[in-house]
Amino acid sequence: MTKGLKQKIIDQVSPDLKKVEIALEHNLKPNLKLVKKIASHLLFSGGKRLRPLLMIHSARICNYDNGFEIQFSVLFEYLHAATLLHDDVVDEAAVRRGKKAAHTKWSAPKVVLTGDFLLATALDIAAKTKEPDIISVIAKITRDMSEGEIDQLDKKGKLDLSEKEYFEIIKRKTAVLIQGACKSGAILAKADREKTDALEQYGFHLGMAFQMADDLLDYTAGAKELGKNPGADLREGKLTLPLIHSLGNASLKDKKWMENVITATSFSPALFEELKEKLYAYKGIEYTEQKALDHVKKAKECLSIFHDGQSRELLCQIADYSIERKV
Amino acid sequence: MTKGLKQKIIDQVSPDLKKVEIALEHNLKPNLKLVKKIASHLLFSGGKRLRPLLMIHSARICNYDNGFEIQFSVLFEYLHAATLLHDDVVDEAAVRRGKKAAHTKWSAPKVVLTGDFLLATALDIAAKTKEPDIISVIAKITRDMSEGEIDQLDKKGKLDLSEKEYFEIIKRKTAVLIQGACKSGAILAKADREKTDALEQYGFHLGMAFQMADDLLDYTAGAKELGKNPGADLREGKLTLPLIHSLGNASLKDKKWMENVITATSFSPALFEELKEKLYAYKGIEYTEQKALDHVKKAKECLSIFHDGQSRELLCQIADYSIERKV
């Protein structure tokens, strides 16, 4: 089932994806070889190009399909890469997309500055759209994401992180960027308010589902599928919904035990397995799956105002796939 | 003489400066108190607001004076502050504007993210100008500055840094931002190509003069005037023009001696004084002063196409002051 859906999506987007890859290569023009190297390390290591695809089809669903939607869409991949570089430095993550994180190969300052360079590249393309509202979207994304990261840093290891705080964090961390890509497609197409809002809401719900699926995978996937070690969130002291919900339901004894695991800076694979069992037992996994599914449902409902067609179908499939994916 | 010029400038700009300060307060609206605290630490610690003033008067010299030039101009102060925060983390500078650098009070990741937040604030204001060309200017500034910093990092401690390499570094590090503020004023005023180019060139030469004056002050000023310890560049392994020129003129013996001082990670005040004597003896100070003066002259020449008036006079005075200032 999952593979079928993934393949269906790939079949539909592969001609566009080829053009996206060319545009990504073409617009990356640093003066320094080192910047190219650091930026390419992340940019060309197998990203799904989800954000460009969302902008492309948000434009097309609003009847904009003159080809510029592909050229402009890559700005969201650069923006995404810029935030990943800054986040990896902030989180001191060791692995990203199955490769060593950039700052473990180059110094953190160089990685931060390469992030700035990629942000500038995104801005340059945004300016070419001649749509000031797209710049406002990018400003909002950058503001929300930077504040979200600081907030998350401040809340690291907070054992009583609430569900509400968690939703706020993942909104800023993931949903605003996906939301922004969808909204920008609508702006580019000069869509009316109703359609623009619908695509913005679609993006929000998709982003929330997407991040919850990610947070689930950090417990349920193997290292190979994940492209990084599972349990990374736990190791960094980040509480995500499966854990938050389970902590709320656990017996006092199990709660204490789980809190000890969270507080420990490292844990054995066996201990991690034991924790996972508790997340299943206290329905943290199931609850998170249900919440993600709710967002997928809402995302698809947002698309109901659009006429049937290839872009609507694809955006629906992407919503479904966001929680079915194994990586 | 110097104080007279400084006072003259201050008298002319103080009504605008008050509005700039209000706009700076007004546009800084983070959700998190911590972001406000980190951003304010730098933003409200006695900056000269040079970049906003340059945008304001570049707009006015092109007959744009409806008041929006003040509202929009603060974007360059935010952008400047954003780059200072990232640079301080990169350089591991301990002191900035007479206060402890932000990252010595807060963790480097939080400072980097606050820099991102300030960049977003700048973008948000830029979007409000509805001028895509201003966005392109900001993109170019961000790109050049990030690459310039990486380049400088890579060249730290390079004993044979050439004059050409030095000019390239200070262009990216300082001149592009000042140039961009001037150009954006012209764009806002919808000035013709000739005037836009003239203001862009003015800004370039002013920026070059400004940075050379800064590099001179790092040798000639006292700690109190400077707001940071003199000799900071040397301590960080950054070769600036006074030293580059002197190394080129020095006897083999003195060259070796100077290279040893550069390579040492720390040095006594007495040794620093001895080095300064050599910079005077080998005319590194004088040569840098002359180069800066040349740029001031060129900057003022760029203004000759404009009618006489308050803004032209002020921009001329700022050019003169850029190398007369003691801080």
CB contact under 8 A, A114 and B150: yes
- Token pair listed for A96: 């990203």
Contacts of A113 in chain B (CB under 8 A): 86, 90, 146-147, 149-150, 153
Spatial contact of B113 and B103, defined as CB atoms under 8 Å apart = no
pLDDT band at residue A107, thresholds of 50, 70 and 90? confident
Chain A, nearest residue to B111 by Cα: A150
Q: CB A132 to CB B128 under 8 A? A: yes
How far does A76 lie from chain B, in Å, by closest CA? 15
Structural domain of residue A175, as residue ranges?
2-324
**Domains contained in chain A, number:** 1
**Best CA proximity match to B51, nearest among B139, B177, B143:** B177
Q: Which residues of B touch A31 (CB under 8 A)?
A: 147
- Of these ranges, A1-15, A243-257, A264-278, the one predicted with the greatest mean pLDDT is A243-257
Ranges assigned E (strand) in A33-148 = 95-96, 99-100
Per-residue confidence at B1, pLDDT binned at 50, 70, 90? very low
**What ipTM was estimated for this complex?**
0.87
Q: What is the pLDDT of residues A24-40, one digit of tens each?
A: 999 998 888 888 998 99
Task: Considering only the beta carbons, identify the residue of B117, B138, B143 that sits closest to A121.
Answer: B143
Q: Are A172 and A196 in contact (CB under 8 A)?
A: no
Contact B117 A147 (CB under 8 A): yes
Q: How far is CA B83 from CA B156, B168, B265, in A?
A: 19, 18, 26
Question: B168-197: per-residue pLDDT in tens?
Answer: 999 999 999 999 999 999 999 999 999 999
Which residue out of A75, A123, A125 would a mutagenesis test of the B interface target, given it has the greatest number of B Cβ atoms within 10 Å? A123
In this prediction the pTM is: 0.90
Q: What is the CATH number of the domain that holds A74?
A: 1.10.600.10
Residue A268, pLDDT score: 87
User: Looking at beta carbons, which pairs linking B235-238 to residues 24 or more positions away fall under 8 Å?
Assistant: B235/B265, B235/B266, B235/B267, B236/B91, B236/B92, B236/B93, B236/B156, B237/B156, B237/B157, B237/B262, B238/B152, B238/B156
Residue of A nearest to B107 (CA): A90
Q: Do B127 and A135 touch (CB under 8 A)?
A: yes
A vs B, Cβ pairs < 8 A, gives 145
Q: What is the CA radius of gyration of chain B?
A: 20
| Cβ-based contacts of B169 with chain A (< 8 Å) | none
Distance from CA of A147 to the nearest CA of B (A): 7
- Centre a 10 Å sphere on the Cβ of residue B224 and count the other Cβ atoms it contains: 8
**Could you read off the pLDDT of A162-213 as tens digits, one per residue?**
999 999 999 999 999 999 999 999 999 999 999 999 999 999 999 999 999 9
Instruction: Choose, out of A75, A86, A103, A113, the residue to mutate when testing the contact with B (most B CBs < 10 Å).
Output: A113
Most A CBs within 10 A among B147, B165, B176, B236, hence the mutation to make, goes to B147
